[in-house]
Every structure is written in structure tokens, then in C-alpha cells.
């Protein structure tokens, strides 16, 4: 038996898999057991923002391990406090406190719990094209097909259409129209559901794995205004895009807004040790100075994870990672991916910002029919499987989700490595073209 068969794999049909066994890595590359290198154009699941084996992060973990490997959350911890200080320093205004979790889905769970306790209301709004995690509340809030198998319709989740000009639900022709109409639709949902029943709204500041949907200018400001008008808590889901992925510290920074709660994970420490959290506004924090917060986690603020965060955030400051991510989008990935779209009829749309991009693959550009349908079975997903295989055979690890190729290399990827990855994508898209 292959030792890999002993592992029960998430989001996968169990059984033998045709994937390399990875044993090492450095920078933008990982290495399999035969010594072959693969260019990681996915940052794993969009979390190795500083690449593999970054010396600053590794050293921070080792130094903390030599001092104190673990600690219950009820004790004070110098490294936990330092991680919180560095996070609050780069966060939007009014977010002055951090609840640490072990990942993004827990962060969403706790943010929603805080919003419900703060408002005394049961419902939470979320967009249809979204992913917020796979635990009970977060999977119900998720809006894409990954929700279907687990949705009982009983978690107080109410879905709405967010802005998506390429497949506009509102018949919009411009970003300005899409912004205006999406906000009008959201307000109608709020009014029809009853503002007095809605605790808050959870929204990816840039929709990540459900399509890389960058909101039009003004949309997040409109959401902030609607939440204020109706007494709702604005929860920003920055699990994938926070800590530099968009070319700003956080996605909300592009629209100059501050949410009431902000969930983070992934890029906070480049994924080296599991860590997530909720940035909590001063107003919500004040509620829990009068009553205990009724939840907790054994590994909240784990010292090794917090040490990794301290190492990663300091490295991002010193290496000017935010500026590098912005340049990666404007000067390298954006222009090159648009050029690929011009060469390949299978590419229906190119979307992205900073170090997060998506190629939406279609069977017909005019009808916009997806190359594979939403929630496709294994047989129906054959074209995307073939595209992913073409990438791996050429030494590239892509992130394939639905009918999309997501491009998310480490934010410190070199220009030459980015060019090499784009060349492989060009070749793999020729495989997609054969299915038209």
C-alpha cells in the first residue's frame, strides 16, 4: 500500500492519487522525493506568501522552540503579545484587539459568534460566490458549490449576489453600473429579510477561491454605509487576501474602509505554523469587558505560530513585500495573463490584483459557457484535470478550482521564475483549447 493511502484527504475522493510526494522546498519551489523541482504558482493554498523555508520565519520558530514550545491561552505570553502588536499596527483603524485561532474557518466562526452576541440578532448575510471555511457556520455562509453537500438551511445564513461584471446578475455593462446595482440589490435583501433580524454581513474583501472577484471602486464603502445604517456588523473575510496578497496590507485598504471584525489567517505567517485570528473593533471589545466571551481554543495564540507571524511580518516590512506584490500584479502577472487570453480561445476572462489572479476557462467566449459546469463530477471535470496535469508535467503546481486557473505565486517570486511559470501556463492552455 502507498503510505499516502493511509491519509484521509480533505476535498477529495479517497483512494490512489496521481500526485508527487513533496519532501522539500526553497523560495518559490518545492521538491519531490525524486529530486524534481516544481514552481509553486499556487503558494500552496494561497498562503506561502514569502515562499518556502524563508530564513527569517524558520529562525523565529527555532528560537521560540528553544524557549517555550507551547502554552495554554489563559497565560500571558510575550511572543503572543508581540504578534498581536504587529498585526494591529498594520490593520485598519478601530481594530485594536486580536483573538487568535488556528485557522481561517475558526476565525469566521468566532467573528460570527461575536456579531450575534453584540447585536442579539440571528442572521448573517454572505455572497453567493464566496468561500468562508468548512466548519458548520462557515460552510453554511459559503456561497459556492462546496456548500451543497453540507447545507441544512438552518444556520441563519442568507445569501446575496455580490458584484461580478463578467457574469453580472444585474445586466450591468460598466463597473460603475455593477457597483450601484449590486448595492441596491444588497439593500433590498436587507429590507426584505428585516434589518432587526440581521446580526451582520461577512464579505471577502476580494473574493478568492470562488473566482478572484475584485470589487469595483466604492462597493466596500457602500457595504460599510449599509451596515452602519441598519446596525449590522461588517465582518471582512481577509483569510486569503490579507497581509499583502492584493498589494496592500488588507483588501479593505483599497477602498479605505474599516470593518467591525476582520478574519485573517494564511499570509499572517506564510502558513508555516497554523494560525488565524479575528481583529476586533474597540466597540465590540468593550462588550466583553463586562461579560466573558463564551468560547475558546486550546491552541489559541500558539507560541510557535505567533513566533512565525512575528518573523513573517518583520520580513515583510524589511523586504518591502507589499510594494513587491503590487508591482507583481501591475507589471508582470496582469499584462502577461491578458496577453495569454489573447492567444487562447479557452480563456473567457482574466481577473486579479496584486499576487492573486484567475483565468476563467470557457467553451465559448460568446456564450461564456464554463469549460466545466459548477460542481462537476469527476467525469465532467476532465478538461480541468487535463490542464492541471499538463502544468505538473512541465514542473508547475497550479491552483485549479472549478473552471478556473488561479495564479498566486509567492509575493517575493523573482521576475524570471514568474516568466517561467507563465510560459508553462501558455503551454497548458493549449490543452484547454482542444476542448472547445
pLDDT score recorded for residue 25: 98
Name the maximum alpha-carbon separation found in the chain. Answer: 63
Interval 35-45: pLDDT, tens: 999 999 999 99
Model pLDDT, residue 51: 98
Query: Into how many domains does the chain fold?
Result: 2
| 197 and 326 assigned to the same domain | no
Phi, psi of 81 (to 5 degrees): -65, -40
Q: 356: closest CA among 420, 306, 393, 404?
A: 404
239 and 331 inside one domain: no
Torsion angle, alpha carbons of 335, 336, 340, 343, to 10: 70
Distance (Å, whole) CA 49 – CA 355: 9
Query: What pLDDT, on a 0 to 100 scale, did the predictor assign at position 159?
Result: 98
Is there a single domain that holds both residue 86 and residue 38? no
> C-alpha angle 394/401/322, rounded to 5°?
80
- 345 and 363 both lie in a single domain: yes
Q: Are 182 and 314 within one domain?
A: yes
Domain boundary among the residues 319, 353, 388 is at 319
Query: What is the pTM (predicted TM-score) of this model?
Result: 0.97
Instruction: Domain of residue 296: give its range.
Output: 55-319
d(CA 294, CA 288): 10
Tell me if residue 134 falls in helix, strand or coil: coil
Residues 48 and 71 in one domain: no
Whether residue 161 is found in the same domain as residue 265: yes
Residues of the chain whose pLDDT is less than 70? Answer: 1, 378-379
Looking at the fold, whether 241 and 359 belong to one and the same domain comes out as no
60 & 35 share domain: no
Q: Is residue 116 within 8 Å of 235, Cβ to Cβ?
A: no
Helices (H), 320-361: 321-327, 334-343
Whether residue 352 sits in one domain with residue 307 = no
Are 138 and 128 a contacting pair, CB within 8 Å?
Answer: no
Residues 347 and 422 grouped into a single domain: yes
* C-alpha–C-alpha distance, residues 280 and 284, integer Å: 7
Residue 83 and residue 124 in one domain: yes
What pLDDT digit, counting tens, does each position of 272-303 carry?
999 999 999 999 999 999 999 999 999 999 99
The Cα–Cα gap between 118 and 81 comes to 25
Answer with the one of 284, 319, 354 that is the final residue of a domain: 319
User: Tell me, what's the pLDDT at 1?
Assistant: 67
**CATH number where 241 lies:** 3.40.640.10
- The C-alpha cell 476557462 sits at 361
Cα separation, 428 vs 415, whole angstroms: 20
Q: What pLDDT, on a 0 to 100 scale, did the predictor assign at position 230?
A: 98
CATH number at residue 337: 3.90.1150.10
Q: Which of 287, 319, 351 is the last residue of a domain?
A: 319
Amino acid at each position: 500500500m502507498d503510505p499516502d493511502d493511509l491519509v484521509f484527504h480533505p476535498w477529495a475522493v479517497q483512494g490512489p492519487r496521481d500526485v508527487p510526494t513533496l519532501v522539500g522546498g526553497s523560495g518559490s519551489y518545492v521538491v519531490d522525493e525524486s529530486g524534481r523541482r516544481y514552481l509553486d504558482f499556487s503558494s500552496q493554498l494561497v498562503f506561502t506568501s514569502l515562499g518556502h523555508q524563508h530564513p527569517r520565519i524558520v529562525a523565529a520558530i527555532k528560537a521560540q522552540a528553544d524557549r517555550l514550545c507551547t502554552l495554554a491561552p489563559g497565560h500571558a505570553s510575550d511572543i503572543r503579545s508581540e504578534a498581536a502588536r504587529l498585526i494591529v499596527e498594520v490593520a485598519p483603524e478601530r481594530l485594536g484587539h486580536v483573538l487568535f485561532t488556528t485557522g481561517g474557518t475558526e476565525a469566521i466562526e468566532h467573528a460570527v459568534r461575536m456579531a450575534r452576541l453584540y447585536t442579539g440578532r440571528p442572521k448573517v448575510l454572505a455572497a453567493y460566490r464566496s468561500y468562508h471555511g468548512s466548519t458548520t457556520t462557515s460552510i453554511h455562509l459559503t456561497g459556492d458549490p462546496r456548500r451543497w453537500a453540507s447545507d441544512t438551511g438552518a444556520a441563519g445564513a442568507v445569501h446575496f449576489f455580490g458584484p461580478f461584471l463578467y457574469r453580472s446578475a444585474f445586466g450591468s455593462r460598466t463597473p460603475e453600473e455593477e457597483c450601484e446595482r449590486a448595492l441596491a440589490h444588497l439593500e433590498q435583501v436587507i429590507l426584505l429579510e428585516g434589518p432587526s433580524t440581521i446580526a451582520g454581513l461577512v464579505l471577502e474583501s476580494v473574493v478568492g477561491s470562488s473566482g478572484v472577484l475584485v470589487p469595483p471602486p466604492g462597493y466596500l464603502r457602500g457595504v460599510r454605509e449599509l451596515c452602519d445604517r441598519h446596525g449590522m456588523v461588517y465582518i471582512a473575510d481577509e483569510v486569503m487576501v490579507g497581509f499583502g496578497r492584493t498589494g496592500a496590507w488588507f483588501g479593505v485598504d483599497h477602498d479605505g474602509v474599516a470593518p467591525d471584525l476582520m478574519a485573517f489567517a494564511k499570509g499572517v505567517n506564510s502558513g508555516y505554523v497554523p494560525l488565524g485570528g479575528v481583529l476586533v473593533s474597540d466597540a465590540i471589545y468593550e462588550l466583553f469587558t463586562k461579560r466573558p466571551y463564551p468560547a475558546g481554543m486550546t491552541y489559541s495564540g500558539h507560541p510557535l505560530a505567533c513566533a512565525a507571524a512575528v518573523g513573517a511580518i518583520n520580513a515583510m516590512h524589511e523586504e518591502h513585500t507589499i510594494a513587491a506584490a503590487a508591482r507583481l500584479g501591475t507589471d508582470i502577472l496582469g499584462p502577461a495573463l491578458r496577453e495569454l487570453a489573447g492567444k487562447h480561445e479557452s480563456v473567457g476572462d482574466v481577473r486579479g490584483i496584486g499576487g492573486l489572479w484567475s483565468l476563467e476557462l470557457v467553451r465559448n467566449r460568446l456564450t461564456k459557457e464554463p469549460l466545466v459546469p459548477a460542481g462537476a463530477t469527476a467525469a465532467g471535470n476532465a478538461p480541468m484535470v487535463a490542464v492541471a496535469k499538463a502544468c505538473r508535467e512541465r514542473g508547475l503546481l497550479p491552483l485549479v478550482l472549478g473552471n478556473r486557473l488561479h495564479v498566486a505565486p509567492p509575493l517575493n517570486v523573482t521576475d524570471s521564475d514568474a516568466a517561467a511559470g507563465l510560459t508553462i501556463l501558455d503551454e497548458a492552455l493549449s490543452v484547454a483549447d482542444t476542448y472547445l
